[in-house]
Structure 1
């Protein structure tokens, strides 16, 4: 016990020393656990910054929702309390309307298609739009393809979802998507999902392989339906307040380091997806793959009609569909 305490204290001192070694230490938030691809990618960005600025800039990543859940940390980042933030695009849907388009169900044909879109003009348009929310858009990370999982039964059709309660991110699009499938959406913070499924407050949720595995949700929701209704990117943003305090040279260094962290994240993500899937399958989870996606896609017509309402957003959808 004493040795453990001493080791912990030395670790804290080491972290503090590393942080104070730089003139400016940017505090970055992530809800995912240590070792998760997004966390490691931002840590890599910090290493690049430290090296390229001669120890002038560092990044300290607060993982595992240490600074709060995503909705709260977005507000803190806007106010400059947090310098940087890795968030799914979902919680931004009610803040920056451009983020609604990549959050639409079945908007992307595949992960490769999503990469080409977000690496191109549409992605840049969304990064630029963050300025309207007092944020600086830096880069997009992978969020994987999201599918439904629950504790009650296998889901093979829309009819199987009738009346079931699913947790969704705090996004109106996600709520309307679940409603269009005949189920009930319950927006709640990610950290509350495990206990809510365990106690029957909700029947399940929807997420990608790594989140389903790392959260332990597969332990309490053993039916995973690979309908892949969403391929929502994650975004790395910076507080405009913090960004504006930097010199033009340091601002450019931040942007480049963020961009250079993307291929690192994607490589880690591919490996993590495979490892998570293997772990979930080994645990005896029932994976449902015999599913016709067509009725699910057709059910999204009213969702698109509700959210794709302006020429700007319609053009974004057209540009995404035209991306090869």
Structure 2
């Protein structure tokens, strides 16, 4: 990422900024690759309203959805330099930067959505948020990313054997690549925005994601087999640039932090509603949803992934504490 590109992003943010945001003393630019109306986008908008009310118009948030400021890999770098103030990002792209994010990106690390909430809302979640700071970010809150499952254009996946040789898109994360390798598939890292055309043209056979992303991206139109194996329940994170954070007063920092946490239940409510609506839309469109699947062989196949990525005593302890959380 060159400074020219970052300058262009800043110019774009300035041009796009409209409405009440201009009246605020400080407007925080927030990026999201998801489309307008998506739960994460709406949650940050809700956070912005809280901030505007609680600071009496001193602080506002302008949300740039639909990857207006770039794909996640690019926006992470822009956020680090303070060109973008806030960023809602998937955990995968942070795996090679913030070591602790690897643990919550591991396949089958969470037993259920409730288990994930218990972990991320508690001391373990706080510990992971703090781990972002040495890398130029302030971790604000965790949002839900749903449970991710496989979908493809070729055939129903009912066992590990059905995945062998398939070209499956994954996020640009070593863990996701190794997960697919352990399952016998050919992992193909690529930006989210390229998946639809890549499935349509046969560059890849499929991908993996949650109900809302499978639906909102239109991937169900070109990959009509969706297998609910739920191999991943990876939280998403809302971070702020440390450079932007340091410009705020301690009082404003506290207000931003609290507003981010207060946006979490807003996001979860919207997520549950959106998940249900997305499933209904996908099923109505005729996609084949495979629910009769034994997850245990998938879980057993993940042993080498854990052995490769959970190497330090600190990460092993983190895994143990997550698994021990009731």
Same fold (TM over 0.5): yes
Q: 2:271 aligns with which of 263, 269, 272?
A: 269
Q: Secondary structure at the match of 1:136?
A: strand
Structure 1: stretches of 5+ with no match in the other structure: 1-11
Q: Secondary structure at the match of 2:89?
A: strand
Structure 2: stretches of 5+ with no match in the other structure: 1-13
Instruction: State the alpha-carbon separation in 1 of the partners of residues 216 and 316 from structure 2.
Output: 36
Q: Residue 283 of structure 2 corresponds to which residue in structure 1? A: 281
Q: Output one character per residue of 1:88-143: Cα deviation in whole Å (capped at 9) or x when no partner.
A: 11110011000000000000000000000000111111100000210000000000
Q: Output one character per residue of 1:159-191: Cα deviation in whole Å (capped at 9) or x when no partner.
A: 111100000000000000000000000000000
Tell me whether 1:309 sits opposite 2:314 in the alignment.
no
Q: 2:179 aligns with which of 177, 180, 186?
A: 177
Instruction: State the alpha-carbon separation in 1 of the partners of residues 252 and 126 from structure 2.
Output: 20
Instruction: State the alpha-carbon separation in 2 of the partners of residues 222 and 301 from structure 1.
Output: 30
Q: Output one character per residue of 1:230-266: Cα deviation in whole Å (capped at 9) or x when no partner.
A: 0000000000000000011110010000000000000
| Shift, 1:15, TM fit | 5.7
| Shift, 1:17, TM fit | 3.5
Q: How many pairs align?
A: 313
| Shift, 1:13, TM fit | 10
Q: Output one character per residue of 1:241-300: Cα deviation in whole Å (capped at 9) or x when no partner.
A: 000000111100100000000000000000000000000000010001111111100000
Instruction: State the alpha-carbon separation in 2 of the partners of residues 232 and 188 from structure 1.
Output: 18
Q: Output one character per residue of 1:43-102: Cα deviation in whole Å (capped at 9) or x when no partner.
A: 000000000001000000000000000111001100111000000111100110000000
Q: Residue 224 of structure 1 corresponds to which residue in structure 2? A: 226
Q: Residue 258 of structure 1 corresponds to which residue in structure 2? A: 260
Q: Residue 92 of structure 1 corresponds to which residue in structure 2? A: 94
Tell me whether 1:292 sits opposite 2:294 in the alignment.
yes
Instruction: State the alpha-carbon separation in 2 of the partners of residues 14 and 191 from structure 1.
Output: 21
Q: Residue 11 of structure 2 corresponds to which residue in structure 1? A: none
| Shift, 1:34, TM fit | 0.2
Q: 1:76 aligns with which of 72, 75, 78?
A: 78
Instruction: State the alpha-carbon separation in 1 of the partners of residues 123 and 64 from structure 2.
Output: 31
| Shift, 1:14, TM fit | 11
Instruction: State the alpha-carbon separation in 1 of the partners of residues 175 and 300 from structure 2.
Output: 16
TM-score (norm: length of structure 1):
0.95
Instruction: State the alpha-carbon separation in 1 of the partners of residues 292 and 259 from structure 2.
Output: 42
Q: Against the structure 1 CA distance between its residues 192 and 14, is the aligned structure 2 distance closer, same or farther, given a 3 Å change threshold?
A: closer
Residues 1-324 of structure 1 aligned to structure 2 (within 5 Å)? 16-324=18-326
Q: Output one character per residue of 1:289-323: Cα deviation in whole Å (capped at 9) or x when no partner.
A: 11111110000000000011011001100110111
Instruction: State the alpha-carbon separation in 2 of the partners of residues 133 and 174 from structure 1.
Output: 22
Instruction: State the alpha-carbon separation in 2 of the partners of residues 14 and 70 from structure 1.
Output: 19
Instruction: State the alpha-carbon separation in 1 of the partners of residues 296 and 16 from structure 2.
Output: 54
Instruction: State the alpha-carbon separation in 2 of the partners of residues 156 and 219 from structure 1.
Output: 20
For the aligned residue pairs, the C-alpha RMSD in angstroms reads 1.2
Instruction: State the alpha-carbon separation in 2 of the partners of residues 19 and 38 from structure 1.
Output: 19
Q: Secondary structure at the match of 1:269?
A: helix
Instruction: State the alpha-carbon separation in 1 of the partners of residues 95 and 15 from structure 2.
Output: 39
| Shift, 1:16, TM fit | 1.9
